[in-house]
Amino acid sequence: MRIAPSILSADFAALGAAIATVERGGADLIHVDVMDGHFVPNITIGPPVVRSIKRIAKVPLDVHLMISDPDRYIEAFAEAGAAMMSVHVEVSPHLHRTVHAVQALGVKAGVVLNPATPAGTLEDIAADLDFVLVMSVNPGFGGQTFIPRSESKVRAVRALLDRVGNAAPVAIDGGITAGNVARVVAAGARIIVAGAAIFDAPDPERATRELKAAAAGGVTSPAAR
Ligand code: DX5
Ligand code: ZN
């Protein structure tokens, strides 16, 4: 079980402090939301900021590319220090090439599904993936409400990966709280991304710890924790 706080909801003028805080709370990854104002209606950060974060973060960086042309930027984000990188299936016509390009740079490759994108689109790439990220809100903003159907999407993706013999983890991103995390974990999610539930809390260190504890409650087999 890994908790990946999304810095989208952190104070961008104090990212170092924000990251140190959630690391003290037990963050396993730092989730970095990259938005281009084209694929999604918001604009966030690029490789220079990732490079700076990389210098201070103790845990690996999970870079979520919400951009129209990910192929153009994969190398830059890898050089900046991404340990994991995910691209959206909706903007990747040559997904097999893209996934292998990420892996060739020594970065774990993930594919992201928007809420309206079926798990089945991954059928022919499932065996190649290092992780799958299921969006449980429409990407672009932090602090949105969890879309309930995402729970069955997590199950469907887990089943698909299992069918091809791939133990790669399923990640969930959007609207996750201490109140709903156990359900998505029970459905098969093993990387939990959370922004508002952590950084909008009065004590983000404690919120990270509590979210992790709540997530562990969703694991049925103790060995899987
Ligand atoms: C949404 C981003 C998410 C977002 C999650 O477009 O991909 O990573 O930061 O934030 P919350 O947990 O606030 O929904
Ligand atoms: Zn994200």
- Give residue 221's pLDDT: 54
Mean pLDDT within 108-136: 98
Task: State residue 225's pLDDT score.
Answer: 46
Work out the average pLDDT over 177-185: 98
Q: Which carries the bigger pLDDT value, residue 170 or residue 225?
A: 170
Please check the confidence at residue 14 and state whether its pLDDT lies above 50: yes
- List, chain by chain if needed, residues with CB within 6 Å of any ligand 1 atom: 6, 8-9, 31, 33, 64, 137, 139-144, 173-176, 193-197
Percent of the chain at pLDDT above 70? Answer: 98
Q: How far is residue 30 from each of residues 2, 38, 117, measured CA to CA in Å?
A: 10, 24, 25
Indicate which atom in ligand 1 lies nearest the CA of residue 194: 12
Average pLDDT (66-81) is: 98
What pLDDT, on a 0 to 100 scale, did the predictor assign at position 220?
76
Q: Which atom of ligand 1 is nearest to the CA of 144?
A: 14
Tally of residues, the chain: 225
Residue 120 has pLDDT above 90, yes or no: yes
The sign of the torsion formed by the CA atoms of 6, 7, 11, 16 equals positive
- Reply yes or no on whether the pLDDT at 152 is more than 50: yes
Q: Is 173 a catalytic residue?
A: yes
Alpha helix positions (H), the chain: 15-24, 47-56, 74-80, 95-104, 150-163, 181-187, 196-199, 204-216
HSE-CB at 49 with a 13 A cutoff on CA atoms is 16
Bridge-based pairing of strands 84-88 and 108-113 is: parallel
CB atoms within 10 A of CB 74: 21
CA distance 129 to 118: 16
Instruction: Confirm if 197 and 176 have CB atoms less than 8 A apart.
Output: yes
CA distance 17 to 33: 18
Beta bridge partners of 33: 64
pLDDT tens column, 18-52? 999 999 999 999 999 999 999 999 999 999 999 99
Tell me what the pLDDT averaged over the chain comes to: 97
Least confident of 86-90, 117-121, 152-156, 218-222: 218-222
- Determine the average pLDDT of the residues in 131-137: 98
Q: CB atoms < 10 A from the CB of 148, how many?
A: 11
Mean pLDDT across the stretch 83-111? 98
Catalytic residue among 124, 162, 173, 200: 173
